[in-house]
Structure formats: C-alpha cells, structure tokens
Amino acid sequence: MMEYAFNSTHITHLVYGVSANVAAMLLYGTNYVPVKRIEVGDGMFFHWVSCSAIWLVSLIGDLTLQSPKFYPLAMLGGVIWATGNIAAVPILKAVGFGLGIVIWGASSLLMGWASSRFGWFGIAASQVSRPVLNYSGAGLCLLSVLILFFVKTNAQLHPPPESTPLLFDRRTNSGSFGPPSPEFWMDSIGPNSRRFIGCLLAVVSGLLYGSSLVPILYIKSHSSYRDSMFYGASVYDLDYIYAQCSGIFLASTVYFAIYCAARRNRPRVYSRAILPGLLSGLMWTLATYSWFLANRYLNPVNTFPIVSTGYGLVAALWGSLVFREVKDFASCLTFCFGLSLLTAGSLLATLSNL
C-alpha cells in the first residue's frame, strides 16, 4: 500500500513538473510575439513597460505566497536580467525573432551550465553521474551557437508604419519642421554588420540571462551554513521571484531615466507598445513562475537545459513558420542544423544527470 502511494505521488509530481516545464517553454518562446509587428523604436520605452508589468504580476504572486522573506541579494539577479534585456529589441530587429531568441537561449544555457558545474560566484558545484555526456552536451551547445552566426534572416528594422511616437523633436537643425531623425543607431549600419552585432548582442544577453539566477542559487547554497547570513533561507525558487522582479523594475526605471536624460527629456514613446509591453511582461513572469514551480517537482539541473532549449525551439517555429524570417535554403539548412545540435546538446546534458 505504501509503495502504491509512493508511486502515485511520484507520478503526480512528474505530471505537475512536466506541465509546468511545457508552460514555461511556450510562454518564454512567445512573450515577444505581441511586439513583432509593432514599432517600438529603440525599445527603451517597451523595456520599461514590460518590466513594470513583471513587477506588478510578481507583487500579486508574492501576496498569494503570503510574502516570503525578502532577500535584497536576489534583486541583483533582476538587475543583471534587466541589463541583458535592454538589447532584446535591437537583437530581434537585427537578426529576427527566431534566431535572436535561439542564440540567447543557447548562451544562457551555457552560462547556467558553467556556473553550476564549476561552482562559480560562490555557489555549490554540481556533480554529474556521467561527466563525458555532460561535457559533450556543453560542447554541442557551444558549436550550435557558432553555427547559428552564419544564418541569414530577412529581419526588418521597422514594421509597416502603424504607429507614431508620442514624444520626439520634429525640428531640424534649421529650426523648421521635418521628418524625425533615424529611430536608433542600427538604422545607419549595413546588413552584414547589423547581423553580426545582433548575434553578438544575443550572446551577451544570453550570458547575462544565464547569470541572473546566481544570486538565488548563492542564497540557497548557503542556507545550511550556520555562520552565513542566509542560514535558514528557503530552498524553493518561487520564494525569490518577487525580490528578483523588484530588481528588474528598479534597474529598468533607472535605465529609462538615464535614457530620458540622454535624450534631453524627449524620449521616443510609442502608444501602441503599451499593451503589448504589458502582455509581454505578463507572459514572462508567468513563465518564470511555471519554471520555478517545475523546479519544485523535478530536478532543477534537468529543467534548466530543457527550458532554455525549449523556448528557443518555440521561438524558432514562430520566426520560421509564422514570420517567414528564414527564406534562403542554405540559411534554413544551417538554422535547422544548429537547432539540431542545440537540442542534442541539451538532451546529453540532461541525460548526464539522470
């Protein structure tokens, strides 16, 4: 009877964990779809709106969880994430929806793997039962990133003109009225340079995304040390989401204030980006709750590579099938090959921990 109860509980946890994992992959891979065909300029206003939504949703989640203890160090992870997310719009405009998200997902996977595998930044190093499979998986993921650099997409810097910025200076140097200046710095860069810069920014953003969980992991890994200030801290990732999202909102507000000051209080604010930005922030936060909930039922060492690869595959489907970003046969073949290597590498990394 006890064995039956154990098996039933195990199966229930497995179902909950897999369902939450799938929800996280779908939401992460879709959260930028609302702004794909909306003009957002340089993306700074959209960044602030989406981060505001992230904080509001996390506040509701915090009240639902009866306000777990707030650790300011977890805010640092939010600051790191918000810093990487500044480049999200330029990346999507430079290399496209699918390719951009796949590259930063793969880079995030590599950063998360390296920091946990080798115990960087003061967190406990994880041990794997099959090191050869683990390193082979990481190597395939790295190779996939390098291959994806050669994919050519027909990403557009600006969608068809549907919206007009609410605030911008329409005066030219002569004092007369004329067309506004270029939307942002990528307008003056050639396609090849723009593609390279977009891929490079995707790698940097992915490394920052992969580092954003380090503060939470640090707190959890020191929760059992009696001489640590984090002794007795919760081991559930869900209890740290509000603190992390508070860091996201704080950093995004500071960055937007700096942006407004740099533009002499004439920021480019797009009215049509408000609701899509709120929706994007909502989906990202729900994805994070789903992912951290999956960690409660499954091993986080397994959920991280699955989610990081899974949302990249979802975004690739959006970019290829819906938005038709990869039309050239050679680029399509290269893209599929890179995705295959990334998937294989993720599976090897997961199997090495079973």
Q: Is the pTM of this model over 0.85?
A: yes
pLDDT digits (tens, 9 = 90+) for 3-40: 444 466 778 878 888 899 999 999 999 999 998 888 88
Residue 130: pLDDT above 80?
A: yes
Lowest-confidence range among 45-54, 180-189, 260-269, 335-344?
Answer: 180-189
Helices (H), the chain: 2-30, 44-64, 73-85, 88-95, 97-118, 131-148, 191-211, 214-221, 241-262, 274-297, 300-317, 329-351
The pLDDT value recorded for residue 76 is 97
Residue 321 confidence class, pLDDT cut points 50, 70, 90: confident
Residue 320: pLDDT above 70?
A: yes
Residue 171, strand partner residues: 177
Residue 243: pLDDT above 90?
A: yes
Please write down the long-range contacts of 128-134, taking CB distance under 8 Å and 24 or more positions apart.
Answer: 128/301, 128/352, 128/353, 129/352, 129/353, 129/354, 130/351, 130/352, 130/353, 131/352, 132/352, 133/348, 133/349, 133/351, 133/352, 134/348, 134/349, 134/352, 134/353
Under 8 Å between Cβ of 285 and 51: no
The pLDDT value recorded for residue 5 is 45
Residue 47: pLDDT above 90?
A: yes
Lowest-confidence range among 209-223, 276-290, 300-314?
Answer: 300-314
Burial of 232 (0-12, 13-18, 19+ CB in 10 A): exposed
In SS3 terms, 78-122 reads as HHHHHHHHCCHHHHHHHHCHHHHHHHHHHHHHHHHHHHHHHCHHH
Residue 61 confidence class, pLDDT cut points 50, 70, 90: very high
Quick one: average pLDDT of 227-251?
A: 94
Tokens of 202: 């995707």
Determine the Cα–Cα distance for residues 186 and 196; give it in Å rounded to an integer.
12
Determine the Cα–Cα distance for residues 315 and 101; give it in Å rounded to an integer.
6
pLDDT digits (tens, 9 = 90+) for 203-222: 999 999 999 999 999 999 89
Give the DSSP letter of residue 6: H
Choose among 15, 58, 97: nearest CA to 281.
58
Residue 183 confidence class, pLDDT cut points 50, 70, 90: low
Within 13 Å of residue 129, how many CA atoms lie on the same side as its CB? 7
Residue 170 confidence class, pLDDT cut points 50, 70, 90: very low
Which amino acid makes up residue 146? L
The pLDDT value recorded for residue 251 is 98
Determine the Cα–Cα distance for residues 288 and 214; give it in Å rounded to an integer.
15
The pLDDT value recorded for residue 298 is 80
Of residues 178 and 271, which shows the higher confidence score?
Answer: 271
Domain ranges (residues) in the chain: 34-155+190-351
CB atoms within 10 A of CB 170: 11
Tokens of 177: 């009225």
